[in-house]
């Protein structure tokens, strides 16, 4: 029985107690024990963070498993594979032999492989007269079989942790949306309260989260956001109850008039699936708060402000051209996301930086883009570049197309809205297109 013997490594490699422990464990495999090698490999891929191995080491292990003739790892089938480093290099898509050796050592160190070295360190097999394997020298897969149950348990733990983190992120997203929109509603309804202070507290919580947070940090953030949401809801519920008690018909009438069926909330992309939407919502809340402070300081200008903002989230930029919310632009033009800093677009500055990269990639001259920015405004020019990228397969000359839109914009004959709406419909899920 090949796993029953303790072997020491060839050459300068020294023997360690860890190697001895792995060999002893491999020698305790039950005679009828077996496992599907590819099912076990998938579990290894899940459990790799807990096993201390990387992707390339797994690629080498995948190559080793491909040399094992059976699908079931079992002691009766033999557990030694003996490919050369050249053969392993070929099956790892050209990985350098030196790299192959390094990752083989890492797999041995992690206790997933055992070396069974020949007297001269070569890997080969000796067969009897009937052609059956008499003795093989190479790498033993016995530790994989011996640790199969442990590996599957580790994989289950990793998957459970991943699902827990996903659930936390979803709940944080929902709670963050609730807080932002409740504050916005409170300011628009002119409900008394320190909404600016609450919004500052909300932003501090969000911005205090590290780029790669731990599970405990996510749990803490969720608890704090939940408490903040409960505080805001309590304040609003008190206001609602007091309004009902007074029977304030004017308040109810104003509430009905302010309910806009075309609210930009319906136009914004899903918080879970489109990047930039949450940042756009937070920006809108900040604008609403700033507007509220301005109205308090200049009450005479309130009517004018209301007339200019009858369509929430849409504003006029250069040349009278209407500019749409960043979240809506990213929903209509998702391809531009790949060109943002680190593949993310969080604000208008990121979008404009991405537009410069796309401009160069599509062959639009700097002068054409600068002219568009001067006529349309920088945000609208970046939006148009995102639309051109989205429709790249239908536009022969991006530069000529942009110059044409710029000339039309100067004459007041161009609007971004229809272009964005067409792209929104084109990118909408099938169910929404039918409806």
Model confidence over 140-169: pLDDT tens digits?
888 888 888 899 999 999 999 989 999 999
pLDDT digits (tens, 9 = 90+) for 195-252: 888 888 888 988 888 888 999 999 999 999 999 999 999 888 888 877 766 654 454 4
Give the tokens for residue 340. 């943002």
Single out the residue of 298, 328, 294 nearest to residue 312, CA to CA: 328
pLDDT digits (tens, 9 = 90+) for 328-366: 899 889 999 988 888 889 899 889 989 988 888 888 888
- Taking the C-alpha atoms of residue 312 and residue 309, their distance in angstroms, rounded to an integer, is 6
Question: At 296, is the secondary structure helix, strand, or coil?
Answer: helix
pLDDT band of residue 60 (cuts 50, 70, 90) is: very high
Q: What was the pLDDT predicted at 140? A: 86
**Which CB contacts under 8 angstroms, 24+ apart, belong to 53-58?**
53/106, 53/107, 53/110, 53/112, 54/103, 54/106, 56/95, 56/99, 56/103, 57/103, 57/106, 57/107, 57/110
Dihedral pair phi/psi, residue 316, rounded to 5°: -100, 135
What would the mean pLDDT of 46-57 be, rounded to a whole number?
A: 90
pTM of the model: 0.48
Residues 6+ apart with CB under 8 A from 373: 318, 381
Residues 6+ apart with CB under 8 A from 50: 154, 157, 158
- Taking the C-alpha atoms of residue 56 and residue 410, their distance in angstroms, rounded to an integer, is 56
- Taking the C-alpha atoms of residue 169 and residue 408, their distance in angstroms, rounded to an integer, is 44
- Taking the C-alpha atoms of residue 65 and residue 270, their distance in angstroms, rounded to an integer, is 43
């Amino acid at each position: 029985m090949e796993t029953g013997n303790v072997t020491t490594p060839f050459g300068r490699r020294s023997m360690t107690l860890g190697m001895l422990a792995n060999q002893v464990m491999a020698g305790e495999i039950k005679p009828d024990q077996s496992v599907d090698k590819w099912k076990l490999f998938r579990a290894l891929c899940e459990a790799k963070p807990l096993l201390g191995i990387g992707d390339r080491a797994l690629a080498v292990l995948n190559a080793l498993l491909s040399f094992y003739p059976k699908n079931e790892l079992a002691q009766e089938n033999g557990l030694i594979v003996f490919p050369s480093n050249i053969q392993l290099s070929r099956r790892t898509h050209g990985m350098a032999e030196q790299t192959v050796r390094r990752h083989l050592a890492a797999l041995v160190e992690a206790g997933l492989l055992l070396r069974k070295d020949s007297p001269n360190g070569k890997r080969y097999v000796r067969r009897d007269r009937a052609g059956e394997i008499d003795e093989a020298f190479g790498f033993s897969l016995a530790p994989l079989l011996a640790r199969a149950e442990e590996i599957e348990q580790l994989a289950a733990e990793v998957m459970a942790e991943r699902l827990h983190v996903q659930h936390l992120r979803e709940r944080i997203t929902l709670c963050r949306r609730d807080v932002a929109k409740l504050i916005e509603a409170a300011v628009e309804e002119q409900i008394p309260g320190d909404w600016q202070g609450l919004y500052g507290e909300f932003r501090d919580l969000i911005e205090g989260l590290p780029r790669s947070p731990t599970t405990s940090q996510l749990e803490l953030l969720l608890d704090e956001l939940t408490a903040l949401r409960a505080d805001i809801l309590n304040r609003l519920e008190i206001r609602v109850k007091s309004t009902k008690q007074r029977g304030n018909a004017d308040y109810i009438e104003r509430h009905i008039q302010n309910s806009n069926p075309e609210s930009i909330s319906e136009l914004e992309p899903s918080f879970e699936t489109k990047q930039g939407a949450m940042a756009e919502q937070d920006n809108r809340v900040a604008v609403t708060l700033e507007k509220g402070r301005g109205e308090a300081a200049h009450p005479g200008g309130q009517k004018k402000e209301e007339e200019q903002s009858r369509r929430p989230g849409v504003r006029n930029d250069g040349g009278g051209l209407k500019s749409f919310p960043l979240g809506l632009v990213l929903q209509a033009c998702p391809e531009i996301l790949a060109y943002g800093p680190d593949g993310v677009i969080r604000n208008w500055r990121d979008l404009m930086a991405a537009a410069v990269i796309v401009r160069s990639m599509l062959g639009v001259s700097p002068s054409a883009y600068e002219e568009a920015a001067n006529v349309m405004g920088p945000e609208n020019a970046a939006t148009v570049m995102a639309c051109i990228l989205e429709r790249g397969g239908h536009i022969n000359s991006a530069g000529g197309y942009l110059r044409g839109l710029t000339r039309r914009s100067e004459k007041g004959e161009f609007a971004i809205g229809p272009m964005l709406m067409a792209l929104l419909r084109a990118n909408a899920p099938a169910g929404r297109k039918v409806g």
